[in-house]
Amino acid sequence: MAARSARGYGPARLRAELRARGVGVALIEVALAETGDDGTLERARAVARRRLPVLQRGDRTRTAARLRDHLLRRGYAASVVARVVRECVGLPVED
């Protein structure tokens, strides 16, 4: 679990992967609590910094949308994604 989290996957993605493998809800919550929620924002920022150079081929609006979609697919909460996209691209996130 820690290895997947360290690779940049957010809590929602980790939860879904464990559920797909048949892990019980109680065990999933314990495992997620052990990884800690404190570093979620920092992990999302790190993922964005790694991905941003590839995404910056178009205009800022398209870059923001692509970065938003990438972070959401990685399993980060919408509030975390919105904050990271605002910090990295400087544009508000639109749904």
Domain boundaries, the chain: 2-35, 40-89
Q: What is the per-residue pLDDT for 69?
A: 95
Tens digit of each residue's pLDDT (9 = 90 or more) over 4-22: 666 778 888 888 888 999 9
State the pTM of this model. Answer: 0.78
CB 76 within 8 A of CB 44: yes
70, 87, 53, 54: which is closest to 13 by C-alpha? 70
- pLDDT tens-digit map of 30-84: 888 877 666 888 889 999 999 998 888 878 889 999 999 999 999 999 999 999 9
Kindly write down the DSSP assignment for every residue of 23-62, as one continuous string.
--HHHHHHHHHHH-STTHHHHHHHHHHHHHHHHTTS-HHH
For residue 20, CA distances in Å to 2, 24, 27, 45, 49 come to: 18, 10, 13, 27, 29
Contact of 67 with 89, CB cutoff 8 Å: yes
Task: Examine the pLDDT at 29 and tell me if it is beyond 60.
Answer: yes
